[in-house]
Amino acid sequence: MSHQVTIQPSGHQFTVQDDETVLAAALRENFALPYGCRNGACGACKGKVLAGEVDYGSHQPATLTADDKAKGMALFCTARPKTDLVIEVKEIGAAKDIPIKTLPCRIEKMEKLADDVMALWLKLPSSERLQFLPGQYIDFLLKDGKQRSFSLANAPEEDQLLELHIRHVPGGFFTDQVFGTMKAKDIMRIKGPLGSFFLRESDKPALFLAGGTGFAPIKSILAHAFQHGIGRQMVLYWGAKSLADLYQPQLPAGWQQAHDNFRFIPVLSEPKAADNWPGRTGHVHQAVLADIADLSGWQVYACGAPAMIEAAKRDFMARGLPEDEFYSDAFSFQ
């Protein structure tokens, strides 16, 4: 039997299905409640039950004490409603609402997506999950105080492992390790989530501009949008040098087949003769300019090399794009 939950002070409402936790149902219906471990160990999801009854579920006794329960508190990652509920919890509305953590992680899996692009999947300790907004990034904390930043490519709903797309920069302190000595089971330290590159609420059509591995955070944003049935018009222009550099074209191509509100336009700047490329060529932001005469009614999300970001912002604003509707994440190589 399903139950309705009302969140205070926002007044938002959602339905919890049989054998579903309050947190799982809230996230499924796109209400961002705070969480950490999602297994009753950390207490980040603790909130107050103002009305109704819950099954508290399995949790660490020290995380939700008898005194907590007497005060009406529950862990929403383990609590299941027994009746309709009214709960009190602060919803996450922006990046500033999500706590930044420093965590150990293990390299769970590595896979070459192209000659110079490696996908890493990171596993956190069993008592931890990383809550983040799609589009945000993490820092690897290296020896001697060095840090290296990489965007999260997985959607927040798929957080059993954290996915990164890392391009090899020859001579790069960290990427040489990734493509040379790093192996599965290695232990690293990360800090996150970080950054303000995430989808804003709007009815405007959204234009995503990716250069190379700038696809990673956009993949996270789009996967999240499709999971939650966001109906606004969206288009992705993804630029790469040659066909091999367009390392996951089947994914956005599949989204285009499945979703009427999404288009995918790949653009190659230096296609090889062997590519037999029938599609668009040149600089990726120039392809946008060729297609859209007036950008005044759009939102733009651009991720890639600084030169691409700067050129796109300048030229898109000249086509009417409001400056405050251009969101970007520039990948600068260290």
Does the pLDDT of residue 333 top 70, yes or no? Answer: no
Span 209-214, mean pLDDT? Answer: 97
Write out pLDDT tens, residues 77-129.
999 999 999 999 988 777 778 889 999 999 999 999 999 999 999 999 988 88
Q: How far apart are CA 167 and CA 147, in angstroms?
A: 16
Does the pLDDT of residue 332 top 70, yes or no? Answer: no
Span 303-321, mean pLDDT? Answer: 95
pLDDT band at 1 (very low <50, low <70, confident <90, very high): confident
- Range from 20-24, 29-33, 330-334 that averages highest in pLDDT: 20-24
DSSP state of 199: P
Torsion of CA 267, 270, 274, 277, to 10 degrees: 20
Does the pLDDT of residue 334 top 60, yes or no? Answer: no
Span 219-248, mean pLDDT? Answer: 96
Q: How far apart are CA 38 and CA 126, in angstroms?
A: 10
Average pLDDT, the chain: 93
The pLDDT assigned to 51 comes to 96
Torsion of CA 304, 277, 299, 318, to 10 degrees: 90
Helix (H, G, I), strand (E, B) or coil at 316: helix
Domains located in the chain, CATH noted: 3-91 (3.10.20.30), 96-194 (2.40.30.10), 206-330 (3.40.50.80)
The pLDDT assigned to 244 comes to 94
Write out pLDDT tens, residues 4-20.
999 999 999 999 999 89
Structure tokens at 143: 């020896």
Strands 46-51 and 73-75: antiparallel
Q: How far apart are CA 328 and CA 38, in angstroms?
A: 31
The pLDDT assigned to 237 comes to 98
| Neighbour tally for 102: CB within 10 Å | 10
Tell the burial category of 113 from Cβ atoms under 10 Å away from its Cβ (0-12, 13-18, 19+): middle
Does the pLDDT of residue 69 top 90, yes or no? Answer: yes
Write out pLDDT tens, residues 141-188.
998 888 999 999 999 989 899 999 999 999 998 999 999 999 999 999
Q: How far apart are CA 273 and CA 248, in angstroms?
A: 20
**Is residue 331 within 8 Å of residue 214, measured between CB atoms?**
yes
What does each C-alpha distance from 243 to 70, 120, 257, 272, 303 come to in angstroms? 61, 22, 20, 8, 19
Helix (H, G, I), strand (E, B) or coil at 307: helix
Q: 155-165: b or e for each residue (b if 16 or more CB lie within 10 Å)?
A: bbeebeebbbb
Residues 6+ apart with CB under 8 A from 10: 91
Q: How far apart are CA 19 and CA 2, in angstroms?
A: 9
In DSSP terms, which residues pair with 105 in a beta bridge? 188
Q: Which own/partner contact pairs does 176-179 have at CB distance under 8 Å and 24+ positions apart?
A: 178/118, 178/120, 179/116, 179/118
| Neighbour tally for 293: CB within 10 Å | 8
The pLDDT assigned to 206 comes to 98
**Is residue 126 within 8 Å of residue 39, measured between CB atoms?**
yes
pLDDT band at 215 (very low <50, low <70, confident <90, very high): very high
Amino acid at 15: T
Measure CA of the first residue to CA of the last residue in the chain; give whole Å.
Answer: 54
The pLDDT assigned to 280 comes to 97
Q: How far apart are CA 104 and CA 190, in angstroms?
A: 6
Does the pLDDT of residue 305 top 80, yes or no? Answer: yes
The answer, as to whether pTM is greater than 0.75, is yes
Torsion of CA 102, 104, 108, 112, to 10 degrees: 50
The pLDDT assigned to 304 comes to 93
Q: Which residue has the tokens 């391009």?
A: 167
**Is residue 95 within 8 Å of residue 193, measured between CB atoms?**
yes
pLDDT band at 44 (very low <50, low <70, confident <90, very high): confident
